[in-house]
Amino acid sequence: MANHVESNDVVRSAPRLPLTWGVWMPLSYLALSALLLSPALLGGGTRLVGYGADGAMHQWFLQWFPYAISHGVNPFISNYATAPQNTNLLWNNANLLLGLAFWPVVRLLGAVNTLNLLYVVLMASAGSLLAWQLRPHVRHASSAWMGGAIFAFAPWMQSELAAAHLTMLAIGTLPLGWWIGTRTLAAAREKRHLVRWGLACGGWLILQYWSDKELLATTAVMVGCLVALRWFWGRRVDLALVRQLSTVVVVAIVVTAALLAVPLAIQFGSHVSLSQSTVSSPKTNVIDLLAYILPGYGQLVSSSFTTSITGHFTGELLETDLYLGLPLIVLVVVAACRQWGRPLVRFGVACTLLGAIFASGAWLHIAGHSVELPLPWLLLGHLPGYAKAIPARMAPFVLAGVACLLAAGWDEVRWRLQPPLQVLLALLLAATLLPSTGIVQGIRGSSVSMPRVLSSAALRALRSGAMVITVPIPTRSNHGISMYWQSEDQFRFKEPFGFLLHPSPSGAYTDNFNPSPLESLLLTLTEDRRPTSPLPRAALARQIQDWRVAAIVDVRESGFQNSERVLESLLGQPRMIDGAAVWLHPHVLS
């Protein structure tokens, strides 16, 4: 192997970015991501990807930022989805840059089509950016392509797509940061263009802040650990290089502070402490040690035996599915052992192991059981800014490391195996990573449409920004549907129960379970259940009056008689508009 790989790990005989490589590689990733998204794309803009409410939340963000900016409303603080209380959107997965960049696309294609297009673009860009970064380090273009493919389309990414976690799919910023970092180091060694690369580093920090703040925080930890390992292996510090890098660091800090001063002040200055556990808990969403080798719910090759084990892993299925499969694990382990002298391999091993250790959480988990073996996250979780970080979301670093090792391993496969055996190995790797029907169903999502009643003359006669409560209220099980209605209606009305992190006397919640009588009642009716205790009429009347509710609308036209009967006993006879029950300016009957 040493005969055909340069000692500095850069294959000089390989052109950097020939035209054919620069065209077919991103196109192939676009085709793969479009194929993966085809169940939703074929819905013609009526299917919202995902099992939970994240899809509705992200399309809400896509329309909220342009609306807020064009109407002179603060885009970062809003009570439109959590009225009457304000919500700091900077503590949510709100991406201002995507909202602004895709503003014209939303106007042209609609929010749902745009969101589905974003999924395609983000996954394809993640694979392309990593493959571009790997290409100078490998002899064969196919090796770089394989690395990019596992980074962009691994089971963890498929699960994040099925959960409609848009920010988790935007991991293309990691290889972009790697590219900027390597060239910044080269510039520092040559003592050239330090200010330019300081600006580039600052620009990356700003981009990552808006893409995913949690990934920015965990990237800082990973970079610190990798630098410490590099020093440990090298046993020396180049003081001249440190002095040159200090210029880069100062420029990056100045640029970042100048452009993020306002959002950071808003984020940390107007939000209560997230003292209440959220739905995605850092204590439960961890990667089990067996998750890497046992196919579970998300894999087509799973069996009843394997799912009986993986079904008891700690955490949510769609957050903790970091399956790699034995064929891939064997290939990368062999590559690590045989090619340890290559910097790309040493970097891949370090990134994989560090990411896996952090992704395991505070304590090692095996087969769903916590083992009394403390891990570094036990300390990290107590640091400011990391208390609510999710260990399982260190998965992108594991995937990046595995991608490096796979690229190196495939270089040797191309060197040693005949083409038929190469094809068989590639098919074996692909087969073990195919998504299950459950993942495909999640990607297919749910069909969404606007209730006709929300466009009726009676509701349009209400003042702009009036409080309108729809039944069903948004929950995970109904995909946060009323947030979709609100944004599609261009925020003509406010609603109280949006699927957002919002403050309350006891902390912050991602679901809409504030301890209020009205919400408890409406949640019961949303699930088509009858209240098991007498209605607290006085408390309900006070809440409706205090919130200045302009209308309560049961948009379900048939099959949900329980809600209409209970609301009728509470509010009186409704007006029937377009098949829906509407109570305008509701008052609780005495």
Task: Quick: pLDDT tens for 88-118.
Answer: 888 887 888 888 899 999 999 999 999 999 9
On the question of pLDDT at 15 being above 60, the answer is no
Spatial contact of 55 and 49, defined as CB atoms under 8 Å apart: yes
CA-to-CA distance for 125 and 172, rounded, in angstroms?
6
On the question of pLDDT at 562 being above 80, the answer is no
Spatial contact of 112 and 47, defined as CB atoms under 8 Å apart: yes
Render pLDDT for 455-503 as a digit per residue (tens, 0 to 9): 999 999 999 999 999 998 888 888 889 999 999 999 999 999 888 877 6
Q: Which residues contact 106 (CB under 8 A, 6 or more apart)?
A: 62, 63, 66, 114
Give the burial string for 155-175 (b: 16+ CB within 10 Å, else e). Answer: bbbbbbbbbbbbbbbbbbbbb
Nearest to residue 97, comparing CAs of 266, 213, 257, 269? 213
On the question of pLDDT at 156 being above 50, the answer is yes
pTM (two decimals): 0.91
Both tokens of residue 502?
């919002």
Residue carrying the six token digits 């892993």: 313
CA-to-CA distance for 278 and 22, rounded, in angstroms?
42
User: What pLDDT shows up at residue 11?
Assistant: 46
Spatial contact of 146 and 406, defined as CB atoms under 8 Å apart: yes
Q: 3-class SS at 435? A: strand
Averaged pLDDT for residues 497-516: 64
Bridge-based pairing state of the strands 493-494 and 466-471 = parallel
Q: 3-class SS at 508? A: strand
Cis peptide before 472, with omega less than 30 degrees from 0? yes
On the question of pLDDT at 210 being above 50, the answer is yes
User: What pLDDT shows up at residue 275?
Assistant: 43
Both tokens of residue 348?
């891949």
Instruction: pLDDT band for 5, please (50, 70, 90 cuts).
Output: very low
For the chain, what is the mean pLDDT?
A: 88
Number of other CB atoms surrounding residue 248 within 10 Å: 23
**In whole angstroms, how large is the CA radius of gyration of the chain?**
26
Amino acid at 402: V
